[in-house]
Structure 1
Amino acid sequence: MEIVAFLSDITSHLNDLNMKLQGKNNTVCNLTSAVCAFQKKLELFKCDLQQDLLHFPKLLNQTAGTHRHHNHAEFLDKLIKNFQTRFGDFPLGKQVLLCMENPFLVKNIAEFSTEALKICPWASAASLQSELIELQENLALQESLCDPTTFWTKMVPAADVPSLQKVALQILTMFPSTYCCESAFSTMNMVKNKYRSTLSNEHLHQCLRLALTPFMPKFKELVAQKRCHFSH
């Protein structure tokens, strides 16, 4: 039962990570931060196995904290290496992530440009460095309180920092997960059920656009364009 308790605890932590990786408004920056944080948690979990089992309540309840769990530590070692293998080559560096979240906190501008060129090789390091400095000195933007997507798409003047904004938009529009695809596929299964076997592909496409669009119709304007015929 000890191994079952351990697997239950570690699976619970993995499920927490999985929940953070889902959602419509998550950017690749959010998901990268979540994965990096979990990798550090794995190191913490490994140390905790030899101490108070603070992060393994079911295992603590099962063993009463009386045993050293070397076999479980080996399992965590393999899990740590697995995460390093899967995410070790991901090009988003710390300075790029920091710039996407809050460009005014970036101190090492040269390192930022180096990391940005790994993602956007078409960009110019000199332009990125100059534009970031100009952006950091913009007092109006320093006072803006909004999320990163709104900041880079609506607040930052594209004419002043064209290369920097283009890099930001390329990063923020990356597909970080298959959540949207899976959600759309589930919606399609609900729309095209066994009771609608004659539904054409064109009508299915239109139904999916209505079901998946984030835009809310302006019902008052649509109604105002119609006229009632009281003679009928």
Structure 2
Amino acid sequence: MEEHGLMWDRFAGFCTDGAPTMLGSRSDLAALIKTKNPSAITTHCVIHRQALAAKTLPECFTVALKTAIKVVNFIKKSALNTRLFKQLCSDMNSEHETLLFHTEVRWLSKGNMLSRLYEIREEVKIFLTNKENELLDQFCEPEYIIRFAYLVDFFAQINKLYLQLQGSGNLKLQGMSNIFAYEDKIRAFIAKIELWINKVERNNFSAFDTLNQIIDGQGADVKKELQKNMMLHLTNLKNEFNRYFPDWEDKSIQKLMRNPFLINVSEVADEIQEELIEMQHDTNLKDTFESGTTLKDYWCQKAVSFPKVRDIAIRYLTLFSTTYLCEQGFSTLLIIKNKHRNRLNAAADMRLALSSTEPRIQKLVKSMQPQKSH
């Protein structure tokens, strides 16, 4: 069953960005792969789902975000304005001298743009005053500043989650980059949203540092309106996350993979029950599992005597949770193969750039013949 160099019977699953061309039920990629291997598992990229779930801003916050984007575009779209603003920031000894653009396809850019704009907002106000721009009045309104501060805090939390979900983050370093570990991060974020809702309901804004610093002294009316909009936003956000990240239908797989010694035998399929009983009564294997070994090392190296249970676990361990590596590859190619090197065969360069293996420079140097002196 080999086609195009692929052994389809060994194909565990694939991760997509959720586009219709990928997930169609008849003639698209998912359907075509199912014809080759019906047991293949299709997953929707965790980061793409999270980005879709986060698009829940109410009208007032959407207007505030658009205003911030207009301010940045006014300063950045003109080379003259950019130079003048940089000089103004330099004269005021500002920490930053430039603003940041954002694009929808760059997951971190919106939060970084808002954070930078907030940090040098006083310089921006002076620049807009000198230019007599109509955005000045809106940018200086007390209500706008409060909504702006909330957006800064909210997108900072979103960016923090983005980084946790990327393949080079802490999960990877801890040997936990499996689909269930990413699920834990999402569940933790949903629990945080519930905590924020409970706090905001009690007029407690301590979960949002930037907002909390400026909200005191603004008046009860401002707090009441802000509370209403924040409750609406956070409630919608929670609902969207629950919609895009539903609970696993078969939780026994998750329990089996995470700790095969705690799951009840009756919860798993009949064909692996006897093998699971043998595993659970293997004292040495249990001690090895409890000694702190990672799930990957346990299932790949230690549980080889139990092939049926092991095959199920490895199938889920090998699934890609995100398309991060693919996105990273595109970004690397754009850097390597630019207009000055458009005829370059970038395969070897990309392999070196994307590899996590540290090159042994000293060994490579010793293997080379030194240049003879003349």
**Structure 1 residues 221 and 133: CA distance shift in structure 2, 3 A:** farther
SS in 1 for 2:154: helix
- 1:56 alignment partner in structure 2: 208
Q: Counterpart amino acid of 1:46?
A: I
- Indicate if the aligned counterparts of 1:29 and 1:100 stay in contact, CA closer than 8 A: no
- 1:163 alignment partner in structure 2: 308
- Report the Cα offset of residue 47 of structure 1: 0.4
- 2:318 alignment partner in structure 1: 173
Separation in 1 of the partners of 2:306 and 2:200?
Answer: 50
Q: Counterpart amino acid of 1:62?
A: I
Q: Counterpart amino acid of 1:75?
A: H
**Structure 1 residues 70 and 186: CA distance shift in structure 2, 3 A:** same
- Indicate if the aligned counterparts of 1:27 and 1:172 stay in contact, CA closer than 8 A: yes
Q: Counterpart amino acid of 1:100?
A: M
- Report the Cα offset of residue 174 of structure 1: 0.9
- 2:84 alignment partner in structure 1: none
- Indicate if the aligned counterparts of 2:336 and 2:349 stay in contact, CA closer than 8 A: yes
- 1:110 alignment partner in structure 2: 266
Separation in 2 of the partners of 1:110 and 1:4?
Answer: 53
- 1:39 alignment partner in structure 2: 190
Separation in 1 of the partners of 2:321 and 2:359?
Answer: 28
- Indicate if the aligned counterparts of 1:153 and 1:169 stay in contact, CA closer than 8 A: yes
Q: Unpaired runs of 5+ in structure 1?
A: 114-124
User: Superposed, which structure 2 residues align to 1:81-92 within 5 Å?
Assistant: 81-88=239-246, 90-91=248-249
TM-score, L = length of structure 1: 0.77
TM-score, L = length of structure 2: 0.50
SS in 1 for 2:167: coil
Separation in 2 of the partners of 1:14 and 1:228?
Answer: 52
User: Superposed, which structure 2 residues align to 1:138-153 within 5 Å?
Assistant: 138-144=282-288, 145-153=292-300
1:159-197 CA distance string (max 9 Å, x none): x32121111111111110111111112222222123322
**Structure 1 residues 74 and 110: CA distance shift in structure 2, 3 A:** farther
Report which of the two structures shows the higher radius of gyration computed on alpha carbons.
2
Aligned length: 213
Separation in 2 of the partners of 1:143 and 1:221?
Answer: 39
**Structure 1 residues 224 and 156: CA distance shift in structure 2, 3 A:** farther
1:126 aligns with 2:270: yes
Percent identity for Structure 1 against Structure 2: 29
- Report the Cα offset of residue 99 of structure 1: 3.2
- Indicate if the aligned counterparts of 2:199 and 2:205 stay in contact, CA closer than 8 A: yes
Q: Unpaired runs of 5+ in structure 2?
A: 1-144
- Report the Cα offset of residue 72 of structure 1: 1.0
Q: 2:327 aligns with which of 182, 196, 203?
A: 182
1:56-110 CA distance string (max 9 Å, x none): 22232232295341221011111111111111265563x4334333333x33343
Separation in 2 of the partners of 1:56 and 1:169?
Answer: 40
**Structure 1 residues 223 and 2: CA distance shift in structure 2, 3 A:** closer
Q: 1:100 aligns with which of 242, 257, 266?
A: 257
Q: Counterpart amino acid of 2:299?
A: W
- 1:77 alignment partner in structure 2: 235
- Indicate if the aligned counterparts of 1:141 and 1:155 stay in contact, CA closer than 8 A: yes
SS in 1 for 2:334: helix
C-alpha RMSD of matched pairs (Å):
2.9
Separation in 2 of the partners of 1:18 and 1:214?
Answer: 20
Separation in 1 of the partners of 2:253 and 2:335?
Answer: 40
1:111-167 CA distance string (max 9 Å, x none): 3x2xxxxxxxxxxx113333333222222222223211111111111xx32121111
Q: 1:205 aligns with which of 332, 347, 350?
A: 347
- Report the Cα offset of residue 210 of structure 1: 3.3
Q: 2:180 aligns with which of 8, 22, 29?
A: 29
Detail structure 1 runs of 4+ shifted over 4 Å in the superposition.
89-92, 215-230
Separation in 2 of the partners of 1:54 and 1:63?
Answer: 10
